[in-house]
Amino acid sequence: MAAPTTEPARWLDDVEMSAWLAFVETQGDLMTALAHDLSPVGLSLGDYQVFVYLSGASDHAMRMCDLAGLLQLSPSGLTRRLDGLVNAGWVDRRSSDADRRVMLAVLTDAGRARLELAAPLHVASVRRRIIDQLDRSDLEAMAGIFAKIRAALDA
């Protein structure tokens, strides 16, 4: 963790404060709305993220530690996240054939079917709640803004 700076705070000006408040006041409601739109298929937004990562992985399987990293979860947090998906038969946990010490999360056929059911709902939700509210230049600016923020967080 970085040491606190001894420099005086640079307070936000009116434009900066407006941008910050717009983000703070919108992001929670937006995520709640996107999650709500997945509820008809019995998935949370976190569940959907698991499905997306596993569906894009080779053999629809990922090492648990890698999946936890992508989801920004602790190992125990990932275990809790997967418990419901495992109980529903959508994800399996199994040892790696290459290294028995490694546990894999594997998207099952039932999980792929659930993702195929959920994906059109999620895409429609993203389109309705975000994409359709913006013009092309807004979308390009948004992509650039979050790419810069992501790069700074990764640095």
Is pLDDT of 1 > 60?
no
- Decide if domain 41-154 falls under CATH 1.10.10.10: yes
Q: Where are the domains of the chain?
A: 41-154
Distance, in Å, from the CA atom of 142 to the CA atom of 71, rounded to the nearest integer, reads 22
pTM as predicted: 0.85
User: At 136, which amino acid appears?
Assistant: R
C-beta of residue 82 within 8 angstroms of C-beta of residue 105: yes
Distance, in Å, from the CA atom of 151 to the CA atom of 71, rounded to the nearest integer, reads 17
Distance, in Å, from the CA atom of 139 to the CA atom of 130, rounded to the nearest integer, reads 9
Tokens standing for residue 51: 């499905």
pLDDT of residue 5: 63
Question: Per-residue pLDDT tens for 42-82?
Answer: 999 999 999 999 999 999 999 999 999 999 999 999 999 99
Question: What are the counts of helices (DSSP H) followed by strands (DSSP E) for the chain?
Answer: 6, 3
